[in-house]
Amino acid sequence: MSRACLWPLYAAGFTTAFGAHGIAAGLGVAGDGAGASPLRPGLLLALYDGAEVVLEPAFGTPADRIGPRPVLKGGVNQAAAAAW
């Protein structure tokens, strides 16, 4: 297998590791003693990975069918509406 074929796999691995470690890095700030336990980081990382397993196919399939731009715009609009 050529190296060019492996770049999407490298990108997916980086994205997964970056997101999970971003959550782990933020736990030090959130751990103020109120409910902080060794179980908390594990649960949050498991929740992140579970959401990734469910949401990537759910949004990847429409992105493959209609293109990534409309799916991204729809996600940004929904996030803005939820924050409103």
Backbone dihedral angles phi then psi of residue 58, each to the nearest 5 degrees: -65, -35
Tell me how far apart the alpha carbons of residues 1 and 10 are, in angstroms, rounded to a whole number.
14
Long-range CB contacts (< 8 A, 24+ apart) of 50-59?
52/16, 52/19
Q: What is the pLDDT of residues 10-65, one digit of tens each?
A: 777 777 777 767 776 666 655 556 556 777 777 777 777 787 788 888 888 888 89
Q: Is the pLDDT of residue 9 over 70?
A: yes
Q: Alpha helices, DSSP H only, in 1-67?
A: 3-30, 39-66
Sign of the CA dihedral running 80, 83, 17, 26: positive
Tell me how far apart the alpha carbons of residues 40 and 84 are, in angstroms, rounded to a whole number.
29
Q: What is the pLDDT of residues 65-79, one digit of tens each?
A: 998 899 889 988 998
So what's the pLDDT on residue 26?
65
So what's the pLDDT on residue 35?
57
